[in-house]
Amino acid sequence: MLVVDFGAQYAQLIARRVRELQVFSRIVPHHISATEIAEIAPAAIILSGGPKSVHVDGAPTLDPAIYDLGVPILGICYGAQLIAQQLGGTVSRGSRGEYGRAVLTRRGDSSVFGASIPEVHDVWMSHFDAITEVPDGFRCSASTPDAPVAVLEDDKRKIWGVQFHPEVVHSPYGMQVLKTFLHDLAGCEPAWRMSSVIVDQIERIRAQVGDGRAICGLSGGVDSSVAAALVHQAIGHQLTCVYVDTGLMRKGESEQVVETFRRNMGIELIHVDAGERFFERLAGVTEPEAKRKAIGELFIRIFEEHTGGITEAGYLVQGTLYPDLIESGGTDGTAEVIKSHHNVGGLPDDMTLELVEPLRDLFKDEVRALGTELGLPDEMVWRQPFPGPGLGVRIIGEVTPERVAVLQEADAIVRAEIADAGLEREIWQAFAVLPDIRSVGVMGDERTYGHPIIIRAVTSDDAMTADWARLPYDLLERMSQRIINEVPGINRVAYDITSKPPGTIEWE
């Protein structure tokens, strides 16, 4: 099955959902021709969303001849609008957009909605324009308050479109819609398995590295741990892991990483204590993108310094995931840049190591499943995601040793309370943020002028979308009391209740 990418943040997420339904998927660019698709002979096509309006100059389009191939097509968001526009319908500029949850109401017979899906249910929207008239031969089978045509269908031509995003977890019946399209309407057999990733990547890694040596950019997080295990399975002793302690890690994390990897993985590990160098490099740097790039560049330089003595080390293994790539501008530059990741946008142009990124097509929950399949212990596989630049992106403003120490203590309290409440598997990420502001407070009989701590906790399956976690009030109260009582200089605690979109999970 092909996913046609119009620059959407969700293109790979769609492909991943298809794989969850055990159908092999490939992503192709929107400029693919009908002739090229005919040569591939896919069982179905999904048109992804995209960041542009169908009305703007230069908006991506689709070869119109593709609609006449007889291949079942499902358009999602921008893809649905493109179907409407190219086949003679009307896409109007909306007076207001729909971002986040919306209530969808069925308006008639539908092939994409099964009988078990309620007539009225929540969906996840992210659009400004709206389809207002369907092309000839199509019917409107559902709407929302700001999308008159939320679903359009033409069973005869085997073309369907949905304005909402069925691929995200916040559309509760979305997977049923995708399953109906793939298995029932398109007739795709559910035969693909996750184990195929291991076999495929081992072959790719061996072909790329050959007899050379590789070093792994080990952070101790889930991504780099699974990447290291996968590459080690492919090339064995040709891999050496290098753990760069940036000084921006969570409390006690460096000690845990070194002990865990040497005990569990049996891989050569070089531990580099480089905290002072990172603080020197970050002195006076306050702009978020500049911080990320500074951390990423120094990170790579330190790796290069420690390749001496490792014969023929020409490869750098990184746990880059697809969300990292897509937020940094996508795999082909068509996606909107949200933020640079230290292992994507922060790489220096003259880097001497060739990248090995065996996870770059996967999402976090897929990586966890892969880690379990590779035999990694739960303590590695189920660690919460942690950004490559570390606490440097959770400190707003300048990063100093003193501010890192404050944040480490507050963050440790947040994570400890989440663990004590038994919520570690339910929460995607829970952490503390230190903003560059102060506020007045009263502690005892004294007036204070201290910093606030912002608690961020989200639920997600893939990091492409996230919702703020509805933590119990008594849990939030314990966090607040402990942080204020135990962390010097903090006199206020706030809780971030922003979903993604419109926000991001991290603050920078």
Tell whether the model's pLDDT for residue 296 goes beyond 50: yes
Confidence of residue 325 (pLDDT cuts 50, 70, 90): low
- Residue 275 and residue 297 in one domain: yes
Task: Please give the tally of structural domains in the chain.
Answer: 3
Tell whether the model's pLDDT for residue 437 goes beyond 60: yes
Most confident region among 27-41, 213-227, 339-353 by mean pLDDT: 27-41
- Residue 481 and residue 406 in one domain: yes
Give the closest residue to 272 by CA, choosing from 306, 227, 240, 297.
Answer: 306
- Residue 248 and residue 364 in one domain: yes
Give, for 4, the enclosing helix (H) or strand (E).
strand 2-5
Residue 47 lies in a domain: yes
- Residue 262 and residue 334 in one domain: yes
Task: Single out the residue in 381, 414, 435 at which a domain terminates.
Answer: 381
pLDDT at residue number 333 = 40
Chain segment 465-504, per-residue pLDDT in tens: 889 999 999 999 999 999 999 999 999 999 999 999 888 8
Task: Single out the residue in 126, 155, 185 at which a domain terminates.
Answer: 185
- Would you call 167 a catalytic residue per the annotation? yes
Which residue has better confidence, 304 or 245? Answer: 245
Which residue has better confidence, 67 or 303? Answer: 67
Tell whether the model's pLDDT for residue 149 goes beyond 90: yes
Residue 392 lies in a domain: no
Tell whether the model's pLDDT for residue 62 goes beyond 90: yes
C-alpha 251/C-alpha 242 separation (Å) is 20
From the candidates 165, 170, 232, 341, give the one annotated as an active-site residue. Answer: 165
Cis? peptide before 60, omega within 30° of 0:
no
Residue 430 lies in a domain: yes
- Residue 405 and residue 369 in one domain: no
Residue 389 lies in a domain: no
Confidence of residue 177 (pLDDT cuts 50, 70, 90): very high
- Residue 98 and residue 150 in one domain: yes
Asked whether 418 and 383 are in contact (CB, 8 A), the reply is: no
- Distances from the Cα of 304 to the Cα of 238, 300, 308, 350, angstroms: 17, 6, 8, 11
Tell whether the model's pLDDT for residue 341 goes beyond 50: no
Show Cβ contacts of residue 137 under 8 Å, excluding neighbours closer than 6 positions.
Answer: 154, 156, 157
- Residue 357 and residue 424 in one domain: no
Give the closest residue to 181 by CA, choosing from 307, 36, 17, 56.
Answer: 17
pTM over 0.75? The answer is no
The residue-averaged pLDDT of 438-456 equals: 80
pLDDT at residue number 96 = 62
Name the β-bridge partners of 448: 441
C-alpha 326/C-alpha 46 separation (Å) is 18
pLDDT at residue number 345 = 45
- Would you call 77 a catalytic residue per the annotation? yes
- Distances from the Cα of 14 to the Cα of 124, 219, 468, angstroms: 14, 28, 22
From the candidates 20, 30, 77, 508, give the one annotated as an active-site residue. Answer: 77
Confidence of residue 444 (pLDDT cuts 50, 70, 90): low
Confidence of residue 339 (pLDDT cuts 50, 70, 90): very low
Which residue has better confidence, 96 or 177? Answer: 177
Residue 227 lies in a domain: yes
Q: 227: domain CATH number?
A: 3.40.50.620
Task: Single out the residue in 381, 409, 443 at which a domain terminates.
Answer: 381
* Residue 134 domain boundaries: 2-185
Q: 155: domain CATH number?
A: 3.40.50.880
The residue-averaged pLDDT of 339-358 equals: 63
pLDDT at residue number 349 = 63
From the candidates 98, 167, 357, 417, give the one annotated as an active-site residue. Answer: 167
Confidence of residue 308 (pLDDT cuts 50, 70, 90): low
C-alpha 212/C-alpha 18 separation (Å) is 35
- Residue 224 and residue 368 in one domain: yes
b/e map 364-375, b = 16+ CB within 10 Å: bebbbbbbebbe
Q: 475: domain CATH number?
A: 3.30.300.10
Chain segment 156-175, per-residue pLDDT in tens: 999 999 999 999 888 999 99
pLDDT at residue number 387 = 84
Which residue has better confidence, 111 or 264? Answer: 111
pLDDT-wise least confident of 174-188, 200-214, 359-373, 419-433: 359-373
- Residue 229 and residue 338 in one domain: yes
- The encoded tokens of residue 359 equal 């996870």
Residue 179 lies in a domain: yes
- Residue 181 and residue 200 in one domain: no
- Residue 67 and residue 176 in one domain: yes
- Residue 275 and residue 160 in one domain: no
Residue 14 lies in a domain: yes
Asked whether 41 and 116 are in contact (CB, 8 A), the reply is: no
pLDDT-wise least confident of 23-37, 189-203, 273-287: 189-203
Residue 82 lies in a domain: yes
